[in-house]
């Protein structure tokens, strides 16, 4: 893993987090217990902070940047999927940001919400808890179901099992 300071700003990584050797973590980034950060992911906090909550997964090639005055906070038990982009936004607990989705400045994704693959959450948008949003710009398509939430938990468990294999020596 590449942990890089930016001036006085230094990453803080829980001893119970996994950061792949091909990931880059820069500046004021806090990775809490059980967080996983996968190959090619970049978490950049040179202007403001990035915090990834307990048990969340930042998948391959995802990118998160916190511009000045716009910290990023990802809650517990979230998936930031492959090639997703976060820029100065908030993601609440148990949410999913799908493959290639983009969540922009000042936007927030509510608890248990799903941002579908390729969706664009425009600046300042509030995605309500328990909804699924799709499209560009993202619009509410439906309510999240119990099956959606069960799938998210199943995927997080699968990611945790993979970490154990990666850590075997």
Instruction: Provide the Cα torsion 102, 122, 106, 90; round to 10°.
Output: -40
Using CA atoms, how far apart are residues 27 and 144, in angstroms rounded to an integer?
35
**Sorting pLDDT into bands at 50, 70 and 90, what band is 3?**
very high
Residues 5 and 22: beta-carbon distance below 8 Å: no
pLDDT digits over 103-150, tens only?
Answer: 999 999 999 999 999 999 999 999 999 999 999 999 999 999 999 999
Domains assigned to the chain:
2-167 (2.160.10.10)
Per-state percent for the chain, helix, strand, coil, to nearest 5: 15, 40, 50
pLDDT digits over 75-108, tens only?
Answer: 999 999 999 999 999 999 999 999 999 999 999 9
pLDDT digits over 54-78, tens only?
Answer: 999 999 999 999 999 999 999 999 9
For 131, residues 6+ apart whose C-beta sits below 8 A from its C-beta are 110, 113, 114, 140, 141, 142, 143, 144
Residue 48 in this model has a pLDDT that exceeds 90? yes
Q: How many CA atoms lie less than 13 Å away from 62 in the CB half-sphere?
A: 29
């Amino acid at each position: 893993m590449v942990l890089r300071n930016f001036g006085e700003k230094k990453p803080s990584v829980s001893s119970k987090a996994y950061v792949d050797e091909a990931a880059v973590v820069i500046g004021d980034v806090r990775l809490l217990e059980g967080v996983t950060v996968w190959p090619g992911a970049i978490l950049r906090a040179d202007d403001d902070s990035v915090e990834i909550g307990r048990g969340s997964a930042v998948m391959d090639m995802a990118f998160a940047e916190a511009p000045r005055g716009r910290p990023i906070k990802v809650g517990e038990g979230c998936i930031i999927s492959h090639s997703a982009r976060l820029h100065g936004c908030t993601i609440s607990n148990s949410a999913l940001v799908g493959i290639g989705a983009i969540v922009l400045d000042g936007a927030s994704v509510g608890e248990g919400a799903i941002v579908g693959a390729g969706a664009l959450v425009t600046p300042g948008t509030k995605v309500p808890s328990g909804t699924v949003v799709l499209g560009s710009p993202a619009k509410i398509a439906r309510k999240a179901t119990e099956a959606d939430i069960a799938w998210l938990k199943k995927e997080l468990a699968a990611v945790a099992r993979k970490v154990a294999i990666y850590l075997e020596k």
